[in-house]
Amino acid sequence: MFIAQEAIRAKRDGKQLQDQQIKQFVDGITQQSISEGQIAAMAMAIYFQGMDDREKATLTLAMRDSGDVLDWRSMDLGGPVLDKHSTGGVGDVVSLMLGPIVAACGGFVPMISGRGLGHTGGTLDKFDSIPGYQTAPDNQLFRKTVKQAGVAIIGQTGQLAPADQRFYATRDITATVESVPLITASILAKKLAEGLDGLVLDVKTGSGAFMAEYAQAKELANSITSVANSVGVKTTALITDMNEPLASAAGNAVEVKLAIDYLTGNHRDPRLHEVTQALAVEMLLSGGLASTQQQASTMVDDALNSGRAAERFARMVTELGGPADLLENPEQHLPKAKVIRPLLVKDTELVADGYIQAIDTRALGMAVVGLGGGRRMATDSLNYAVGLSQLSGLNRLATGDTELAMIHADSDEQWRQAATAVANAYTVGSKPAKAQPVIYQRIEE
């Protein structure tokens, strides 16, 4: 007979949990026979005592199997089922371009994404800024869109890894979110429920990342790749920089517009392009669509330059209820803020005629939250029009007329508050900062 408190006691005392104990504990979470207090106690025990790879794999699979696991074999897709997960950041709009790029190269991407968390923007929130787009379609429409467009980016349904939803909600209010074993199981339970053939992780490190320290990011990347590969899903990870926003925009509609400009070739931020291309290469390699990095890179360039990636994005938007002419006329469909004005260096207390030496990227994310573009509480509603665009990056020469950001606000007062927050996030000095790589390391099994 399974007794939850005995499993909690064992982990509290630093013992390894038996596979059956883990499975029964997860079953209890799903069936509501285990209390919130017991979930909290187990989460705290794991936070302090950790888990080995066997325990992490067992927990991951148990949470995956707590609900539906998608099976694509009956649909004869004709290509591998692939996905990517990012640990989140500011200006991380990669998913909007990456899914369509991989689809244009022969992959199929059933990307189940989340909403914003703290200072980080959520992929679903970005899509919610597109009129008519369904982020919660029924299973039939989801599968049809994956088949027709090659990519569908939607939210987690109640049938996918429901144990994780309850477990995470308790972790969120008990200061146990940062546990590497629990993060590993939470991410992989949802991703493996998609029925994937391959997965790539984008693990962020820096001032705008949850794993701000490089050692933390590497530990998480190693944990996820090890567990995912051990359960049969080919997985690699890239550790990427988040010491400045990845893109020159942060918000919802402003990031959708930036993604459209990227796909159509109107404008591509260099750092954003480097990360997007590298992740696409990893996905093509993991799915067997390319045999070398050079071949995969050429395929990515062709998908973008030919317009096929943009076509896949447009088809996905249309299939899921969005406007058919979004790519051609984004300004007609995306919400626009009431006040849109630049913040210049001369309008701040920053030293002019220097270089941008540091950026508090988290503070920029919180500025978007302050504008109403992110949540302080899970129940908050969003203003999809607000945000920051034309953000200055590290080592830019800052003169009086240099634009730190274009602020999209709902009122003059909100604009002023955001301007103060944005100015405080920048440090200007006489010398450039030491250049950091955009991609620090690639990690595989």
**How confident is the model over 139-154, as pLDDT tens digits?**
899 999 999 999 999 9
Lowest-pLDDT range of 40-54, 375-389, 402-416: 375-389
Helix or strand run (H / E) with residue 180: helix 180-192
Average pLDDT in the 105-118 region? 84
E strand or H helix that includes residue 219: helix 214-230
The per-residue pLDDT for 156 is: 75
Q: Which of 436, 36, 15, 206 is nearest to 28 (CA)?
A: 36
| Cα distance between residue 169 and residue 146, in whole Å | 29
Question: 272-295 pLDDT, tens per residue?
Answer: 999 999 999 999 999 999 999 999
pLDDT given at position 118:
60
Active site residues: 83-86, 123, 171, 186, 190-191
Q: For the packed helices 214-230 and 53-64, what is the interaxial angle rounded to 10 degrees? A: 70
Distance CA 37, CA 43 (A): 10
Q: What is the pLDDT of residue 333?
A: 98
Q: What does the pLDDT look like over 319-356, one tens digit per residue?
A: 999 999 999 999 999 999 999 999 999 999 998 789 99
Q: What is residue 351's predicted lDDT score, i.e. its pLDDT?
A: 81
Residue 154: how many other CB atoms lie within 10 Å: 23
Return d(Cα 83, Cα 65) in angstroms, integer. Answer: 19
The answer to whether the CB of 93 falls within 8 A of the CB of 259 is yes
Q: Which element (helix H / strand E) includes 409?
A: strand 403-409
For the record, the structure tokens of 250 come out as 């942060």
In degrees and rounded to multiples of 5, residue 281 shows phi and psi of: -60, -45
Give mean pLDDT, residues 303-315: 98
The secondary structure element, H or E, covering residue 282 is helix 270-286
Q: Which domains, ranges and CATH numbers included, belong to the chain?
A: 4-50 (1.20.970.10), 73-331 (3.40.1030.10), 336-429 (3.90.1170.30)
Report the half-sphere exposure of 200 (CA within 13 A, side-chain side): 25
